[in-house]
Copies of this chain bind each other. A is one copy, B any other.
């Protein structure tokens, strides 16, 4: 996630009318080559535009970030950005998918496991922590959208689908007798993901230890903080 490498970018040939407005500061995002000749590797450039855009969306809010701001952050012209991307909404769409696809892949993986619901739920929480640490800026953005655009509406719908799958897993684990009967499945699902999602507020990739963090989250969620008298794994465990 760090972009300590500042690279001087070669300016677009003078075909862009906003060339003269271009910010003379060196680009703050590495990886953009901004050369029309390099059409052979467009993915690389889209990735750099996406990284810069998502960072700005998180800092200033999607509504208050323009394509010009994104171009400026990259040290390239606005038309160069449009060379890679149809507009702000497409960037948001890619970012939302990046976050949500990760979570749904995790949900699909645990669905395929031949294990009791409590184990699948625990695996889902663990994998979700890893998705968040890996795609932190994308998930941060996902958690901030409020449904102001069609893309945001769609992201909120997918989030709701995901929540429903978590709730269903909690319900199943409870009916299998592995989750305390006094807990409401929807509330438990919200609290579990309240804990997981809080990572976007305080986790920093530089701290590392994503696996250890996933251990801590699942330990807290499933066994609780209190020392158990027996200090042994619970008897229902089947792994």
Instruction: Give the contacts of A190-227 with B (CB-CB under 8 A).
Output: 190-199, 201-202, 213, 216-217, 219-227
Task: Identify which of A13-21, A24-32, A45-53, A176-184 touches chain B.
Answer: A176-184
**Could you tell me how many residues of chain A have their Cβ less than 8 Å away from some Cβ of chain B?**
45
Contacts of A236 in B (CB 8 A): 226-227
Q: Are A224 and B235 in contact (CB under 8 A)?
A: no
- Minimum Cβ distance to chain B for residue A160 (Å): 11
The answer to whether A191 and B179 have CB atoms under 8 Å apart is no
CA–CA, A173 and B182, complex, Å: 26
Quote the shortest CB–CB distance from A2 to chain B (angstroms): 21
Dominant SS among interface residues on chain A: helix
A91 at interface, CB cutoff 8 A: no
A173 / chain B contacts, CB cutoff of 8 Å: 225
Q: Which residues of B contact A170 (CB under 8 A)?
A: 225
Looking at the complex, which one of B180, B183, B199, B227 makes contact with A194 (CB distance below 8 Å)?
B199
Q: Is the CB of B224 within 8 A of A183?
A: no
Bound Cα distance from A214 to B95, whole angstroms: 35
Is A43's CB within 8 Å of the partner chain B?
Answer: no
Query: Which single member of B191, B202, B234 contacts A216 (CB below 8 Å)?
Result: B191
User: Which of B197, B198, B221, B226 is A225 in contact with, Cβ under 8 Å?
Assistant: B221
CB neighbours (8 Å) of A226 from chain B are: 118, 178-180, 222-223, 234, 236
Within 8 A of B (CB), among A97-138: 118
On chain B, the residues within 8 Å of A118 by CB distance are: 225-226
